[in-house]
Amino acid sequence: MNEDTNSELEQELLENHATEMNKLILRIYYYASIAPFLVFIETLIGAFKASLWLTGGTALYSIGLCFLLKHIYRRNPSNKLFRYFAAVVMQSVVFILSIDPHLNISLTRIAVPLITFVFFDPVYTCGVCILSSLSTLAACVIRAPMVITLITGDYTVKSYLLTTGSGLLIELILMSGLICACSVQSRKIFLKYSAYNHKNQELKNQVVYSFAEIVEQCDTNTGEHVKRTSQIVDLIVNYIENHKIYSDEISKEELKLFTVAAPLHDIGKIKIPDSILNKPGRLNAEEFEIIKQHSAEGDKIIQNTLKTIEDPLYIEIAHQMTRYHHEKWDGTGYPDHLAGSEIPLSARVMAIADVFDALSSERPYKKPYTKDQVFSEISHSSGTQFDPDMVVIVQALRPELEKIYWAETQA
């Protein structure tokens, strides 16, 4: 890959990773916000001699910020500003608590900078280290007059700042330097590892697609069925993701695998005799029963062949699309007669893509349907053969689908 491609890949990897880490940061803050509340309870019962106003106010402040952070995250989970705002929020809680001389929370000063590691962003880590250091030094100055009242001996604010403050400054500089250096190195390792995984996945995808094309060559009646159905699946997947449909049912990671697994949906045809697969005409009842076996046979091939080279989630999606893409919404499909939402979403997507291509393409027993006939047939099958939601999506994608199948006619 050239430098531009590498740069784009790195950016995409980091952005996708940052979205997941924003979710992690929100979860960490949920748990961390319990600490000020516990400090307040212990102050209330006399375990700490800290100020009730300070600890109680901090507890309310941290809980209130929980709701604010959650609101910001929900509006845009990938927002880069979220991580900076979260860092300021968490550090502000540490700052407020560290003002009270009765509370010793020295280790907490580096907690927020350490959390930044999960983003593999040295600039962000460096910025948070500076923020943490400044807030810690400011807290040290503010609490100095209160501290010397608790210390026996000839101590003044100036002497306290010169001794404790200078030692604290040295610690902050050393810890910040170490954290920033580790952040740079962790970013390099992350990008190197991710790039390797990406190349490895591309290679596996090429192998799988080539395997599917070999099988398709056995079926001379279907043309470029694998390529076209994969395009339709990709369009549907992008529509689902962009419109946040089924967001509570399936993750983005799973959705992306729909397109990758789609080429394998007819892999079982390799087990069907050529005399039936390439018959120049309609199949009789006995032959149709034989060809129906391709979905179950394809599932066996996937389970027995790919499980050693692919991850379990990919295997599951490929299994669903291969075995169930001939199931019908009303339960009259095959091989397991599933109905409605019993049919996995991936198979519902594959089913409509498969039939759309069959209707739009020439077969030995029929001419291709016109575009109006195809969309009319798809609509007519809503709630019987297809998931009604899938029909709505396909109708919404009509301009894009017409470019794939009828571009020459339109020209």
Q: What is the model's pLDDT at position 240?
A: 94
H-helix or E-strand containing 77?
A: none
Q: Which of 264, 263, 270 is nearest to 294 (CA)?
A: 270
Q: Which of 327, 314, 321, 208 is nearest to 266 (CA)?
A: 321
Q: What is the model's pLDDT at position 410?
A: 47
Q: Contact at 8 Å (CB) between 132 and 109?
A: yes
CA pair distance 334, 71, nearest whole angstrom: 45
Q: Is 153 left (phi over 0), alpha (psi -120 to 50) or beta?
A: left
Q: Is 2 left (phi over 0), alpha (psi -120 to 50) or beta?
A: beta
H-helix or E-strand containing 119?
A: none
How many beta carbons lie within 10 A of that of residue 157, not counting itself? 14
Q: Which of 268, 259, 270, 269 is nearest to 317 (CA)?
A: 259
Q: What is the model's pLDDT at position 52?
A: 81
Residue 49 in 3-state DSSP? Answer: coil
Q: Is 244 left (phi over 0), alpha (psi -120 to 50) or beta?
A: left
- Give the pair of three-digit tokens for residue 25: 């940061």
How many beta carbons lie within 10 A of that of residue 270, not counting itself? 18
- The model's pTM: 0.59
CA pair distance 111, 199, nearest whole angstrom: 35
Segment-wise mean pLDDT, segments of 10 residues, the chain, 411 residues: 55 69 79 79 77 82 83 79 83 80 68 77 85 85 79 70 72 75 76 70 67 64 76 94 86 87 87 82 88 91 76 88 95 95 95 94 83 94 95 95 76 42
Q: Which residues contact 156 (CB under 8 A, 6 or more apart)?
A: 148
Q: What is the model's pLDDT at position 207?
A: 66
Q: What is the model's pLDDT at position 258?
A: 93
Q: What is the model's pLDDT at position 408?
A: 56
